[in-house]
Structure 1
Amino acid sequence: MPSSSASPPPPPWLQPPFLLPGFKPELEPKIEPMNCPSGQLEPFVTRDTLLFTPPNPNTVPDEVENAFPEHLRLAHHLGASSNDHRSVISAPVVEVPAGPSDIVGSRKRKARSAEMVRASIVDTPDRLYFRGLVRRTRMTYDSLRYLLLTDDHGRGEAGLSDEITRRRKARSDLTAGALMGNRDLWLNRDSRIIGCIPGIRVGDVFFYRMELVVIGLHGLIQAGIDFVTAGRSTSGEPIATSIVVSGGYEDDDDKGAVLIYTGQGGRERNVAQQRSDQKLHGGNLALERSMNYGIEIRVIRGIKCNKSPSGMVYFYDGLYKITDCWMDLGKSGFKVYKYKLLRIKDQDEMGSEMFKLANELKQNPSGGRSVGHICLDISTGKENVPVSLFNDVDNDKDPLCFEYIAHSIFPQQTSQGAGSMGNGCDCTMNCSMGCYCALKNGGCFPYDENGTLLRGKPLIYECGTGCKCPLTCPNRVSQKGISYELEVFRSIETGWGVRSFDVIRAGTFVCEFSGITVTKQEAEQLSDDGCLVYPGKFPARWIEWGDISDASPDYVPAGFPSTPDLSFSIDVSRARNVGCYLSHCRSPNVFAQFVLFDHMPYPRVMIFAMENIPPLRELSIDYGVGDGYA
């Protein structure tokens, strides 16, 4: 261990018994497995890939660990940046000279601050504000990524900047992050937050490492240890703030609440085994110093998932304390540093554990739940996948008292078929640019080829009964029914609620909100005992999904097709489906999108995900009434 020496007083958030002199940071980060399309090599950080030359050879800015060839190639100048009003603490924008020759003009990227602070958010309005801030940033990231993936054959959207259009064929996860960085849209760059980050919940799920960087949860795209380097720390020592554990290191021992984490160094690229001894510097020393000062560490776990577009899902599992550090002989015969981390008590359940539990419950819904299960499928086969019912709170079985209908029932006089929607398309294969249904949607389709909603609109026309395209057409998303395995469950806080056994991807279809459609005149004759739902009162949350105005000044909000007549009501007093048990929330994770494909003039109320939703987290929607819960 290095010997101690005198140094200036530490910052107030540190209470060390002694301080150590500064060390040169190790240029070899602990590389965790990164999402990378098959057939491509994982990018690697070297000094040759720096965006700029560090002014001091003893210090390496954070951009060293963030930059790599693919990232730099994609990160083109998008225009002047401005201070981000959404950052926790405001900071000036610093100008960074251009590096590679293909970067046009100058880049303005806010340097990541080394100032370390803790954030304490107590009041509900503040929690809602920061949660909305993170959600907005994540929606921008997801929307950009989806649009960048979109091909040029009829599924693109107007109102994109030329820069975004040019970058469609590049890696969307990296490009979206780079575009947002150049617009100064990355969060928490103005300070290095120790511990909890406002607006990020334990259990939140992510599909890309770049997204962790964009919201500031873990500031490095590939390195597993995020830390303030010794040369930038006010104490002259490196301090670690977060780690990513992806199961790629032979000496790691992960038991959930107890984690034995292996340090960095001594490995070659894409090689699991150690090749040499590790040293106590860089991230290794940062973890040791964080242990010494009692600094809590954010832990993000990466788990392989074949349903993820990246092949991985990342869960924020909360805060841990490092309780021990030692050098050990690793499995490959080389010396490695090991760190014992214990999870801090009284936090929400770990997302990685909920993911494992949900997978077990999909195989055996009663497994691990000895009491409380009521019904394996309240839809009685009417949905594509079973909708289970679970209650371990009381003896209420209310959902079993209603007829389950997968789709809304319309008045008998409602016109149906091709005549109700106009002439259908004549596509014999999947619809393409110039298709009649594309024109009804404003010249482009609302979904990508995987069925993800590109952006919300006042109304969406899906191909209907009068169309000749096959049922596999990508413009028939919501009418195909649910694909996520949902459960209606009894909640102490919200009564009945809905959750999923699957990870729900942002922008994907969840379910229909079904009931018996009644006209305005019929509704006036009914006694409203809380069983009438008014589609016109749903806030226009669809405007938020796909809004990339922060990143693209040319973005034009969707205004066509126009908003339909929403004077009708949905009666759920006799028949309903799983969508009717969605909880109300002012900061929801799903939203209502109006869709027409068979009946006129009444659109269907379709529910889409507003963000990535982890398994077993309650789904919530904004009904536009009351205050809801936070």
Structure 2
Amino acid sequence: MDAAALNDPRLMTLIEVSFGMVPRGSSFYTVAPKEPKQLRCTPKFGNTLDFLLDLGFRFRTEERTKALANEFVAKLTEVCWDKCITGSIGSSFSRSETACLSNCAKRYAELKMLTMQKLTRVCYGEVERPFSSKQPQQSSTPMKMKQSPVPLKATPISMALPVPQHVYETSDEDYEPFTNKKKATLQKPTKRTRQVGNSDAGNIKHRFTRRSLNKDLASCPSTSDGPSESVEVIMMMFDSLRRRILQLDEKEDACRRADLKAGTLMMQNGWRINNRKIIGSVPGVEIGDIFFFRIEMCIVGLHAPAMAGIDYISAKHLGKDESLAVSIISSGGYEKDDNDTDVLVYTGQGGNSRHKEKHDQKLERGNLALMNSMKKKNLIRVVRSAQDPFCNSSKIYIYDGLYQIEDSWMDKAKNGFSVFKYKLRREPGQPHGISVWRMTEKWKQNPATRDNVILRDISSKVENLPVCLVNDLYDGFFKKNDVDDEEGPSYFNYITGVKYSRSLSNMKPVQSCNCPGVCLPGDANCSCVQLNGGDLPYSSLGLLAKHVPMLYECSSICQCSQNCRNRVSQKGVYLNFEVFWTGDRGWGLRCWDPICAGTFICEYAGHVIDEMHTNMDDKEHEYAFQTSRFDDKVLKWNLGAELLEEVTGNVTTESLKKLPIVISAKDSGNVARFLNHSCSPNLLWQPVQYDHGDDSYPHIMFFAMKHIPPMTELTYDYGTRGTPPGIKDEFPNACNLKPCLCGSTNCRGSF
């Protein structure tokens, strides 16, 4: 590398930030440099590709590579300017693309290669940026940085979604045949004190230690709750904690792993069930249930170890001479036949540690427990894993039911060492588990393979993805619809939004923000952030963090781009829906995709009617949304986050405003008109504003209340409008009770 290149202030700033010589946030334009003649880039840093080429990086001439080079350097620049949080570059580029971008020719100096690799690792969040002794002490008042004369075009947090990391055991079952690599172990994060940006407060230290539970949290789950309700409450509590921790971490640019922090809080406060290891089914956990984090399986008692793939009861606890296996987690890399969902070939654990010399597996611990279980013929819970269709680097875990070990043998692994193999067969007569997953994956790849289809797309290409109409039933097993002559629902006009009875121009104008690029967490200058209580309502993955009385998204007059994360519900539906015949409850809605809690489902589309002037017949009531009191489960959906709050809001149903609107989808609507009622729903509705400022007439958006497996009917609680005392006199047209057929154990009998 020549002297002129080393003197370039842009490269030197990247080097200094990487090695901790200057604090991140330092501007390239603190001192106006004299541009070296050898470089073809302008002082405004306009052509990053030419800048890289002049430094000796030789990229291929394809357009994709050029675009990657520009975006990559812009992303590094954002991190150095503190415009982007550490780790946000993670999913913008694949590892192979990043390696291609950061490789140098051999003839260039080692310093340049080391610098770019260091920067890449810092931006990925793999290493912590070291602080040099030369670095000035940061005051409690945030330092004002000089603004760049050219706005950055790279997309920070909203598009560069951080890659969720999961905990994986170090055994041969972690081998992934597509990459021939082992999952990286997670290093214990170092505790650090971070200063909140755009805040007058001093250093805020977040230490997730045990906290006393408030009275609301201490009351649930109660001993009167059934097993399913207890598991649901625990899972809801965990995910509420995780989403809130993630929201705070993104706001303060803290380290990730919100799932482990939430799990630690749950364990410290005793928020777990089924603590005692048992053989066979776990109360409250159903076959087909899905988990997005391994710690979730720990707190419900499905699989206790946070790392190991084999869970077993030791001989000491059994009071016998032999240990027995109770559950295993399969990575899916060693199954005998992908089409045979009833047989699993599982590889034992051990012998492949990254910190010790590799060796043959030994008949001890989990391997010995599996061998003993084969002899005793006890049932073993099997959890299968599959790739998350919305995040290539993460897994989803599916409880597939009970298996028995039929056979065991020694085999040679690809590394040449001996491993144990166990053949397990699924117990007959159980509901479908992984087979449903594989079936829906086949449908998504080729929708023509879906049987019993009446219409391939009832939206007529209005939605982002087709919505098929089918006439078969599914209650754990598929069966043909008894009503063979059912041709479909009554005719309606498919629309994707709401139609107001009066013009939007006559409504109160909406506020707007002036954020360049996208809205960032914790930005005190963003009016949209302030409208939402100082937090962005969605995580970087687009998940709803908390249920709030009113959620404010960015509007069309906001200066931020369409890639801003605060525009989730405006972008439409991105799930594979199908409308199906339920039998006694008419037409219903379900999804081919696995749905994570907090995921946006759809908007309730139709004509907005003022409730005070409602005069609907019975048929119109069937396809109408009318706001009612929030169900207790909606309130509990937020309670987990209360563990992190010093002062709780004590939100009750009385404090939530009842909205004076009715949305009729009889003549015009979308998939939401097929959402049936359930007293134990899996969806919640959230009022959202983005196109006008009248909070009495918001958009009604549906979000997942919990993890929803594929082919599960989507439902929400219609409420009990008209039944409480005093409501009938106020809204006489709303008191049309109907018998409830949801079949829930907590069914109220009517809605």
Q: Report the TM-score when normalising by structure 1.
A: 0.73
Match of 1:54 in 2: none
Residue 510 of structure 1: how far off its partner (Å): 0.6
Distance 1:183 1:237 in 2: 33
* 1:349-388 pair list within 5 angstroms: 349-350=432-433, 352-367=434-449, 369=451, 372-388=452-468
* 1:446-457 pair list within 5 angstroms: 446-457=537-548
**Deviation readout 1:346-387 (Å, 9 max, x if unpaired):** 21111x322222121112222152xx1011211112212221
C-alpha contact 1:584 1:629 (8 A) present in aligned 2: no
- Structure 2, unmatched stretches of 5+, are 1-168, 193-205, 473-480, 721-738, 745-751
Please give the secondary structure, in 1, of the residue aligned with 2:673. Answer: helix
Match of 1:318 in 2: 401
C-alpha contact 2:173 2:347 (8 A) present in aligned 1: no
Is 1:389 matched up with 2:469?
Answer: yes
Distance 1:553 1:609 in 2: 24
Match of 1:519 in 2: 610
Please give the secondary structure, in 2, of the residue aligned with 1:244. Answer: strand
Taking structure 1 as reference, are residues 361 and 623 closer, same or farther at Cα in structure 2, changes over 3 Å only?
A: same
Taking structure 1 as reference, are residues 549 and 505 closer, same or farther at Cα in structure 2, changes over 3 Å only?
A: closer
Residue 534 of structure 1: how far off its partner (Å): 1.5
Distance 2:631 2:706 in 1: 17
Match of 2:514 in 1: 426
C-alpha contact 1:596 1:604 (8 A) present in aligned 2: yes
Task: Give 1:42's aligned amino acid.
Answer: A
Of residues 231, 236, 248, the one that matches 2:316 is 231
Of residues 297, 301, 312, the one that matches 1:212 is 297
Distance 1:34 1:546 in 2: 38
**Deviation readout 1:446-474 (Å, 9 max, x if unpaired):** 11233211100111122224433322222
Please give the secondary structure, in 1, of the residue aligned with 2:447. Answer: coil
**Deviation readout 1:32-51 (Å, 9 max, x if unpaired):** 4399xxx997338xxxxxxx
Of residues 181, 184, 208, the one that matches 2:270 is 184
Task: Give 2:235's aligned amino acid.
Answer: R
Residue 225 of structure 1: how far off its partner (Å): 0.8
**Deviation readout 1:60-111 (Å, 9 max, x if unpaired):** xxxxxxxx9569999964146999987999xxxxxxxxxxxxxxxxxxxxxx
C-alpha contact 1:459 1:593 (8 A) present in aligned 2: yes
State the Cα RMSD in Å. Answer: 3.7
Distance 1:537 1:72 in 2: 43
Distance 1:269 1:84 in 2: 43
C-alpha contact 1:541 1:592 (8 A) present in aligned 2: no
Distance 2:543 2:423 in 1: 41
Match of 1:407 in 2: 497
Match of 1:566 in 2: 659
Distance 2:647 2:237 in 1: 12
For CA contacts below 8 A with separation 6 or more, give which structure has more relative contact order. 1
Match of 1:623 in 2: 718
Taking structure 1 as reference, are residues 402 and 525 closer, same or farther at Cα in structure 2, changes over 3 Å only?
A: closer
C-alpha contact 1:457 1:558 (8 A) present in aligned 2: no
Please give the secondary structure, in 1, of the residue aligned with 2:449. Answer: coil
Match of 2:429 in 1: 346
Task: Give 2:243's aligned amino acid.
Answer: Y
Please give the secondary structure, in 1, of the residue aligned with 2:382. Answer: strand
Taking structure 1 as reference, are residues 549 and 149 closer, same or farther at Cα in structure 2, changes over 3 Å only?
A: closer
Task: Give 1:171's aligned amino acid.
Answer: R
C-alpha contact 2:544 2:598 (8 A) present in aligned 1: yes
Distance 1:227 1:242 in 2: 7
C-alpha contact 2:244 2:641 (8 A) present in aligned 1: no
Distance 2:358 2:539 in 1: 45
Is 1:33 matched up with 2:174?
Answer: yes
Of residues 331, 336, 339, the one that matches 1:246 is 331
Residue 428 of structure 1: how far off its partner (Å): 3.7
C-alpha contact 1:513 1:580 (8 A) present in aligned 2: yes
Of residues 516, 528, 547, the one that matches 2:639 is 547
Distance 1:604 1:251 in 2: 49
Please give the secondary structure, in 1, of the residue aligned with 2:638. Answer: coil
Match of 1:100 in 2: none
Match of 2:18 in 1: none
Distance 2:336 2:608 in 1: 60
Number of equivalences: 521
Of residues 531, 534, 540, the one that matches 2:626 is 534
Distance 2:243 2:623 in 1: 37
Is 1:595 matched up with 2:683?
Answer: no
C-alpha contact 1:207 1:308 (8 A) present in aligned 2: no
Please give the secondary structure, in 1, of the residue aligned with 2:349. Answer: coil
Match of 1:78 in 2: 210
Residue 518 of structure 1: how far off its partner (Å): 1.4
Please give the secondary structure, in 1, of the residue aligned with 2:508. Answer: helix
- Structure 1, unmatched stretches of 5+, are 1-27, 45-67, 90-124, 157-164
Residue 202 of structure 1: how far off its partner (Å): 1.0
Residue 299 of structure 1: how far off its partner (Å): 0.3
Residue 226 of structure 1: how far off its partner (Å): 0.2
Taking structure 1 as reference, are residues 290 and 481 closer, same or farther at Cα in structure 2, changes over 3 Å only?
A: same
Q: Indicate the larger mover: 616-625 or 296-305.
A: 616-625
C-alpha contact 1:202 1:316 (8 A) present in aligned 2: yes
C-alpha contact 2:310 2:325 (8 A) present in aligned 1: yes
Distance 1:472 1:213 in 2: 36
Residue 345 of structure 1: how far off its partner (Å): 1.6
- Identity value in percent: 36
Distance 2:266 2:334 in 1: 32
Q: Report the TM-score when normalising by structure 2.
A: 0.62
Please give the secondary structure, in 1, of the residue aligned with 2:697. Answer: coil
C-alpha contact 1:416 1:598 (8 A) present in aligned 2: no
Distance 2:546 2:587 in 1: 30
Please give the secondary structure, in 1, of the residue aligned with 2:644. Answer: coil
**Deviation readout 1:410-429 (Å, 9 max, x if unpaired):** 21x25448x52444223343
Taking structure 1 as reference, are residues 477 and 540 closer, same or farther at Cα in structure 2, changes over 3 Å only?
A: farther
Match of 1:137 in 2: 234
Match of 1:110 in 2: none
C-alpha contact 2:465 2:574 (8 A) present in aligned 1: yes
Taking structure 1 as reference, are residues 72 and 321 closer, same or farther at Cα in structure 2, changes over 3 Å only?
A: farther
Residue 276 of structure 1: how far off its partner (Å): 4.1
Please give the secondary structure, in 2, of the residue aligned with 1:222. Answer: coil
C-alpha contact 1:477 1:509 (8 A) present in aligned 2: yes
Please give the secondary structure, in 2, of the residue aligned with 1:366. Answer: helix
C-alpha contact 1:537 1:623 (8 A) present in aligned 2: no
The answer to which structure has the higher helix fraction is: 2
Task: Give 1:396's aligned amino acid.
Answer: E
Compare CA radii of gyration and give the structure with the larger one.
Answer: 2
Task: Give 2:711's aligned amino acid.
Answer: L
Residue 328 of structure 1: how far off its partner (Å): 5.4
* 1:405-484 pair list within 5 angstroms: 405-411=495-501, 413-416=502-505, 420-432=508-520, 433-434=523-524, 435-484=526-575
Residue 589 of structure 1: how far off its partner (Å): 1.5
Please give the secondary structure, in 1, of the residue aligned with 2:700. Answer: strand
Match of 2:700 in 1: 605
Taking structure 1 as reference, are residues 264 and 251 closer, same or farther at Cα in structure 2, changes over 3 Å only?
A: farther
